[in-house]
């Protein structure tokens, strides 16, 4: 697993989803490091500069949780502030609920933590259920790089800037159908009915999270069409009524591409307030 590890202080771990990688957080890292924090940004197995297994069974939700847990333990991280986006939500929040003594705070952005429905978007025939189809999904997402290419492009606000500065980075690390396996395998772990293989995992996660007292920050892209803010950021607020926010920033689903520096400022301010509370100020 490739990861960035910069700075000193309490660790902030930035988690991405599908089909992105640590590059997504490039405007978030430096402001957090300059505020006196250690920033760790892993590329989940199958993405970015990490190893990309070409066997489907290597890409389960529980497998990704185990990979993240192994990295956190290998680095000996404590007092972790977890920043969870997209699939980084179920992955990071599952780690947090199983290792609460190691976690200091949570930030959730455009993600979810319950079984059904994940989002209205995921009930549509096109594009989502097509990704679950045995032949069409691998053809579109594997052969034609539909998610890492046009999928990310359509999920930012400033598409001209994205095309000029960033789109190459998401396509370059997934250069052929074999390396794109996870882009169509991981979505199949989103529960679409009660018989889904991850249904019980998400039931457990929602139940655990509803009892969490960890300080939490909610940030959302106001233009997000996958997890619309009116529904999903507010559901997190109901699940975690003590949470700060939701703070809405410019952004569709990949809001870091449009508002990276603003997101960094929100996280930095949130953690500064926790520091002050601990110091009794």
**Cβ(244)–Cβ(7) below 8 Å:** no
At what angle are helices 229-239 and 199-210 packed, to 10 degrees?
A: 60
Q: Is 59 a catalytic residue?
A: no
Q: Is 86 a catalytic residue?
A: yes
Q: Which position among 59, 122, 253, 258 bears the catalytic label? A: 253
Tokens 């800037």 -> residue: 161
| C-alpha 194, offset from chain centre | 23
Q: Which position among 224, 228, 247, 258 bears the catalytic label? A: 224
Q: Is 224 a catalytic residue?
A: yes
Q: Which position among 86, 122, 228, 247 bears the catalytic label? A: 86
Using DSSP's 3-state secondary structure scheme, residue 75 falls into coil
Cα 274-277-280 angle, rounded to 5 deg: 150
**Cα–Cα distance measured from residue 195 to residue 103, given in angstroms and rounded to the nearest whole number:** 32
**Cβ(114)–Cβ(90) below 8 Å:** no
- Sheet strands (E) in 162-259: 216-221, 244-249
* Torsion, CA 72, CA 77, CA 80, CA 82, rounded to 10: -20
Residues noted as catalytic: 86, 224, 253
């Amino acid at each position: 697993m490739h990861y960035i590890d910069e700075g000193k202080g309490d660790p902030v771990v930035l988690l991405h989803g599908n089909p992105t990688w640590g590059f997504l957080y490039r405007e978030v890292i430096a402001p957090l490091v300059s505020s006196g924090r250690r920033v760790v940004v892993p590329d989940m197995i199958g993405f970015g500069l990490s190893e990309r297994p070409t066997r489907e069974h290597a890409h389960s939700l529980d497998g990704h949780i185990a990979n993240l847990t192994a990295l956190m333990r290998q680095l000996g991280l404590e007092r972790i502030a977890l920043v969870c986006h997209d699939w980084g939500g179920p992955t990071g929040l599952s780690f947090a609920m199983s290792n609460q003594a190691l976690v200091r705070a949570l930030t959730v952005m455009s993600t979810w933590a319950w079984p059904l429905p994940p989002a209205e978007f995921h009930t549509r025939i096109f594009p989502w259920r097509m990704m679950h189809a045995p032949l069409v999904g691998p053809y579109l997402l594997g052969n034609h790089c539909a998610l890492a290419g046009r999928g990310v492009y359509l999920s930012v606000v400033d598409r001209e800037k994205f095309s000029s500065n960033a789109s190459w980075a998401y396509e370059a690390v997934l250069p052929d159908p074999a390396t794109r396996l996870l882009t169509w395998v991981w979505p199949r772990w989103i529960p679409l009915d009660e018989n889904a293989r991850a249904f019980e995992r998400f039931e457990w996660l929602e139940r655990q999270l509803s009892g969490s007292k960890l300080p939490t920050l909610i940030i959302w892209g106001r233009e997000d069409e996958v997890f619309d803010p009116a529904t999903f950021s507010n559901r997190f607020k109901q699940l975690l009524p003590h949470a700060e926010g939701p703070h809405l920033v410019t952004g569709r689903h990949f809001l870091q591409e449009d508002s990276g520096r603003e997101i960094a400022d929100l996280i930095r301010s949130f953690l500064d307030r926790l520091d002050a509370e601990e110091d009794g100020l």
